[in-house]
Amino acid sequence: MEVSSIKFWQAHQLLAESAIHELEALKKHICTPDDFDSDRSEIDQAIKSASDQRDLAYDMVYIPTQIDVDRIIEIADELFWHTVASELPQFKTGDMLPDQCNALRVAMQSAVSGWIKNNTPERVKA
């Protein structure tokens, strides 16, 4: 994502956050719940809408929309085996059993997915 797009979504997130705070403050100032139930309902809907907009903006900035885990694993796999082969030049072949290849791929998928999850910032809720 381009820097200008990131700044746009960050600004959008801040505006939505500000709207949420303003709406919550307005809701607190409605003194008689019986007389203003419809107003409270409309404010709750507006808060929900602003929250959804804030969350969308957050996702656009902080969560990559298309992480190609398979491509990352292919590159990592090539680098891994290149390192193994260069560190063990006495071995002339690099044969592995299919089960071992599959187990390595599953472990790499788990590791990359876990890394992405652990390093994606959590949403800061108001």
Token output for 26: 């307005």
Domain boundaries, the chain: 3-62, 69-119
Torsion-angle region of 122 (φ positive above 0: left; ψ -120 to 50: alpha; else: beta):
beta
Query: Any idea what DSSP says for residue 121?
Result: P
Whether the Cβ atoms of residue 116 and residue 67 lie closer than 8 Å to each other:
yes
Whether the Cβ atoms of residue 53 and residue 23 lie closer than 8 Å to each other:
no
pLDDT digits (tens, 9 = 90+) for 54-103: 777 776 666 555 577 788 899 999 999 999 999 999 998 888 898 898 89
Report residue 76 CA to chain centroid gap: 22
Report residue 51 CA to chain centroid gap: 16
Query: Any idea what DSSP says for residue 32?
Result: -
Name, in order, each residue with C-beta under 8 angstroms of 3's C-beta and a sequence gap of 6 or more.
none
Q: What is the pLDDT of residue 124?
A: 40
Mean pLDDT is lowest, of 33-37, 50-54, 95-99, for 33-37
**Which amino acid, one-letter code, is at 125?**
K
Residue 125: band (very low, low, confident or very high) from pLDDT cuts 50, 70, 90? very low
Residue 115 has pLDDT above 70, yes or no: yes
pTM of the model: 0.46
The residue-averaged pLDDT of 32-47 equals 71
> What is the pLDDT of the chain when averaged over all its residues?
78
Report residue 12 CA to chain centroid gap: 17
The residue-averaged pLDDT of 8-15 equals 76
Q: What is the pLDDT of residue 110?
A: 85
